[in-house]
């Protein structure tokens, strides 16, 4: 957990230091009151004591109590402010780190886990900081200060207090040993509940279409039951602490007064000196009792922290795991390329981090400026992985990829994604207007209205956008749930075209389009974006048969390269795909 606090800003550290001083002042006021109580006790039993003297000591006690309450209020205010600011800082750091993650890091942590770490885990840290500044700092200061007040005064009473402290520490240690591993499991089970909930909400139509409501309910019930069982185990164990410490505190008071009575009775009554000794001993027992209770109260305050601290430690470790993870794909130092729109793969091999064999092997090809290069092959042949390397979502395991004559790894991300327009296999839209989505991510380089309207025309999206309420200012729901699959794909394509990139990468981005829209879109691409290099991943031969070069992949290797007519003569894999998709008349025409 200490590692997390290195992200605390200077202002927050000064605020924490102020809280420490205020807590120390609160403890000083609290521990000064028993001294005045001792004076009042002594004055009451001393003959001839003036009421004004007793009232004066009582007034000082009230002032100490008021000072303690005032400082406690200030500590609570500053602690809440510090905890909120610190959680804001950590949440911001985690969000920015996740934004920097590549596909491999996202896959490693999983989306549900990252959501839990950004929300629930940081909330745990915030609660501990808010409580810690009020309780965790106050408790040890009060315990040590109270012990120093009573140490050496009476060994019998000190022994009773020490025994109570040892018992409390032993019980706390045993309980922490039992529940700490369970708190780690709790956070993982929260991830599971989050994952199942997101799956159910995302796939609600599929669940209903397959009548799988009961199946989903059973799956959620199982995860929820596991979480509840683990939390019940930890809650029941931690619930023992508070009543146990209250029992020890009551027992300690009883023991101190019992031992104190024996000590007072042990002083023989033989004159005024003996009476004075008895009064002094009685006053000492009263003060000792107060300080001993403060010692035990310190442990009571720590109990609240001990209930939250183990879980917060687990949360802090999970947050630190994200913050300490360095992205594998890092921005380059910058490149100055003379060419435009040229992409070259030179003996590129790629293997996923958790895979046992290569996904792509010895890939070599060149996409010249203005060319259309298409990729086709069976499912799992590596098409999406290949264009992901071109978009630098991953880095090649071996071999080099050059963009405009420069190693793709030498470009900064701003340079690289200024040159590349990427349309993913799954169309992703964001909540906002049509205009917001088409101009998405270009705050630094605003897109003119003419450019994004032209992009809508090229992507064949203008017609349906004009029919939306509000047209280009029409609202898009999160994930584009108020649009069809084809409409989402067309807006995704328009978003990439509006940037006017040198290279457009279509990762199976025409799959949801009907043949008419597909043909019209490709026609506009070839006419309006004649100088743009296009990389197209497709399943339909009709989409790519007019490409300048078609690359056929099979099990991660290139098994054919050429134009459609050439591949129909030389590539068996391509022939099999063509025979499965084209009619005899179409085959003969080609």
pLDDT tens-digit readout, 173-194 = 888 788 878 877 887 888 888 8
Integer CA distances (angstroms), 504 to 85, 317, 371, 372, 465, in order: 42, 41, 11, 9, 23
Structure tokens at 372: 């259309």
Is residue 338 a part of any domain in this protein?
no
Structure tokens at 558: 């290139």
Of 25 and 157, the structure prediction assigns the larger pLDDT to 25
Give me the CATH number covering residue 295.
1.20.1560.10
Tell me, what's the pLDDT at 268?
A: 65
Tokens 């630098």 locate to 392
For 353, other C-beta atoms within 10 Å of its C-beta total 11
Is residue 202 a part of any domain in this protein?
yes
Cα dihedral: 105, 110, 111, 112 (round 10): -150
Q: How confident is the model at residue 47 (pLDDT cuts 50, 70, 90)?
A: low
CB 372 within 8 A of CB 547: yes
Give yes or no: residues 309 and 355 share one domain: no
Tell me, what's the pLDDT at 326?
A: 85
Give yes or no: residues 297 and 387 share one domain: no
Instruction: State residue 545 phi and psi, 5-degree precision.
Output: -65, -20
pLDDT tens-digit readout, 457-484 = 888 888 888 888 888 888 888 777 788 8
Tell me the mean pLDDT in the region 202-230.
Answer: 86
Cα dihedral: 60, 62, 64, 66 (round 10): -140
**Which residues form the domain of 357?**
343-589
Is residue 123 a part of any domain in this protein?
yes
Give yes or no: residues 301 and 444 share one domain: no
Instruction: State residue 569 phi and psi, 5-degree precision.
Output: -100, -30
Q: How far is CA 154 from the centre of its chain?
A: 53
pTM above 0.85, yes or no: no
Give yes or no: residues 366 and 261 share one domain: no
pLDDT at 584 over 70: no
3-state secondary structure of 335: coil
Structure tokens at 433: 């207007």
pLDDT at 345 over 90: yes
Give the number of C-alpha atoms closer than 13 A to the C-alpha of residue 194, restricted to the C-beta side: 17
CB 552 within 8 A of CB 573: yes
Give me the CATH number covering residue 387.
3.40.50.300
Q: What is the 3-state secondary structure (H, E, C) of 44-69?
A: HHCCCCCHHHHHHHHHHHHHHHHHHH
For 323, other C-beta atoms within 10 Å of its C-beta total 17
Give yes or no: residues 372 and 265 share one domain: no
Give yes or no: residues 305 and 398 share one domain: no
Nearest Cα neighbor of 1 from 327, 301, 326, 308 is 308
pLDDT tens-digit readout, 108-127 = 887 778 888 888 888 888 88
Neighbouring residues of 423: CB distance < 8 A, sequence distance ≥ 6: 489, 492, 493, 495, 496, 504, 505, 506, 507, 509
Give yes or no: residues 383 and 348 share one domain: yes
Tell me, what's the pLDDT at 589?
A: 59
Tell me, what's the pLDDT at 61?
A: 82
Q: Which helix (DSSP H) or strand (DSSP E) does residue 89 occupy? A: helix 51-100
pLDDT tens-digit readout, 377-431 = 888 888 889 999 998 888 888 999 999 888 888 888 888 888 888 888 888 888 8
pLDDT at 105 over 90: no
Give yes or no: residues 291 and 373 share one domain: no
pLDDT tens-digit readout, 219-235 = 899 999 999 999 898 88
Give yes or no: residues 109 and 235 share one domain: yes
Is residue 328 a part of any domain in this protein?
no
Give the number of C-alpha atoms closer than 13 A to the C-alpha of residue 495, restricted to the C-beta side: 26
Share of the chain above pLDDT 70, in %: 90
Give yes or no: residues 306 and 359 share one domain: no
Is residue 332 a part of any domain in this protein?
no
Q: Please name every residue paired with 406 in a beta bridge, in sequence order, or none if there are none.
A: 403
Beta strands per DSSP E along 315-371: 343-350, 360-367
Integer CA distances (angstroms), 18 to 3, 81, 257, 302, 378, in order: 21, 12, 38, 21, 66
Structure tokens at 185: 């499991």
- Average pLDDT score over the chain: 82
For 98-123, give the DSSP string. Answer: HHH--HHHHHHH-HHHHHHIIIIIHH
Is residue 141 a part of any domain in this protein?
yes
Give yes or no: residues 304 and 379 share one domain: no
Tell me, what's the pLDDT at 275?
A: 62
Give the number of C-alpha atoms closer than 13 A to the C-alpha of residue 128, restricted to the C-beta side: 22
pLDDT tens-digit readout, 503-522 = 999 888 887 778 888 888 88
Q: How many residues does the chain have?
A: 590
Q: Report the domain count for the chain.
A: 2
Tell me, what's the pLDDT at 44?
A: 65
Handedness of CA 304, 305, 311, 315 (dihedral sign): positive
Structure tokens at 288: 């000792």
For 502-540, give the DSSP string. Answer: SEEEEESTTTTS-HHHHHHHHHHHHHHTTTSEEEEE-S-
Is residue 257 a part of any domain in this protein?
yes
Q: Of 258, 292, 323, at which residue does a domain stop?
A: 323
Is residue 121 a part of any domain in this protein?
yes
Cα dihedral: 281, 287, 290, 295 (round 10): -100
Give yes or no: residues 139 and 277 share one domain: yes
Q: How confident is the model at residue 550 (pLDDT cuts 50, 70, 90)?
A: very high
515-528 vs 485-497: helix crossing angle, rounded to 10: 0
pLDDT tens-digit readout, 261-279 = 887 776 666 655 566 666 6
Tell me, what's the pLDDT at 339?
A: 66
pLDDT at 587 over 80: no
Neighbouring residues of 152: CB distance < 8 A, sequence distance ≥ 6: 158
């Amino acid at each position: 957990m200490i590692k997390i606090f290195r992200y605390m800003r200077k202002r927050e550290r000064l605020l924490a230091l102020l809280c420490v001083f205020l807590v120390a002042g609160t403890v000083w006021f609290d521990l000064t009151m028993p001294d005045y109580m001792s004076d009042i006790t002594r004055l009451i039993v001393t003959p001839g004591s003036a009421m004004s003297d007793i009232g004066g000591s009582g007034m000082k006690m009230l002032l100490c109590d008021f000072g303690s309450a005032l400082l406690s209020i200030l500590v609570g205010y500053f602690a809440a402010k510090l905890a909120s600011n610190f959680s804001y800082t950590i949440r911001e750091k985690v969000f920015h780190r996740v934004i920097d993650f590549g596909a491999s890091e996202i896959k490693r942590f999983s989306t549900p886990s990252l959501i839990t770490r950004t929300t629930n885990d940081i909330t745990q840290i915030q609660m501990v900081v808010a409580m810690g500044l009020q309780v965790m700092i106050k408790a040890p200061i009060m315990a040590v200060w109270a012990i120093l007040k009573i140490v050496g005064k009476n060994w019998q009473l000190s022994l009773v207090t020490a025994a109570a402290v040892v018992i409390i520490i032993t019980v706390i240690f045993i309980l922490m040993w039992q529940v700490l591993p369970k708190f780690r499991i709790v956070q993982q089970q929260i991830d599971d509940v989050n994952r199942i909930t997101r799956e159910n909400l995302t796939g609600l139509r599929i669940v209903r279409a397959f009548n799988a409501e009961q199946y989903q309910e059973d799956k959620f019930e199982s995860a929820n039951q596991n979480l509840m069982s683990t939390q019940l185990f930890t809650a029941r164990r931690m619930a023992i602490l508070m009543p146990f410490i209250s029992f020890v505190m009551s027992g300690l008071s009883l023991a101190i007064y019992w031992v104190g009575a024996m000590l007072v009775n042990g002083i023989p009554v033989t004159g005024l000196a003996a009476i004075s000794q008895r009064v002094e001993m009685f006053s000492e027992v009263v003060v000792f009792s107060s300080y001993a209770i403060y010692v035990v109260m310190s442990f009571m305050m720590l109990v609240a922290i001990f209930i939250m601290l183990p879980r917060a430690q687990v949360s802090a470790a999970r947050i630190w795991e994200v913050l300490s993870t360095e992205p594998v794909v890092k921005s380059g130092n910058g490149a100055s390329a003379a060419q435009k729109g040229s992409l070259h793969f030179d003996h590129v091999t790629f293997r996923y981090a958790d895979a046992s064999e290569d996904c792509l092997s010895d890939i070599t090809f060149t996409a010249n400026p203005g060319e259309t290069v298409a990729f086709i092959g069976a499912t799992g042949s590596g098409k999406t992985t290949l264009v992901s390397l071109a978009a630098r979502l991953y880095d090649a395991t071996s071999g080099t990829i050059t963009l405009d004559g420069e190693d793709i790894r030498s470009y900064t991300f701003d340079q690289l994604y200024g040159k590349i327009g990427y349309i993913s296999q799954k169309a992703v839209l964001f909540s906002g207007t049509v205009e917001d989505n088409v101009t998405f991510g270009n705050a630094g380089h605003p897109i003119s209205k003419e450019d994004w309207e032209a992009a809508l025309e090229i992507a064949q999206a203008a017609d349906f956008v004009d029919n939306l309420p509000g047209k280009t200012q029409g609202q898009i729901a999160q994930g584009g749930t108020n649009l069809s699959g084809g409409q989402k794909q067309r807006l995704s394509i328009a978003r990439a075209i509006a940037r006017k990139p040198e290279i457009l990468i279509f990762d199976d981005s025409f799959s949801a389009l009907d043949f008419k829209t597909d043909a019209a879109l490709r026609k506009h691409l070839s006419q309006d974006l004649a100088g743009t290099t296009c990389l197209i991943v497709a399943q339909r031969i009709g989409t790519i048969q007019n490409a300048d070069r078609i690359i056929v992949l099979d099990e991660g290797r290139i098994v054919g390269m050429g134009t459609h007519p050439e591949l129909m003569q030389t590539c068996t894999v391509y022939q099999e795909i063509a025979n499965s998709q084209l009619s005899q008349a179409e085959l003969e025409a080609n």
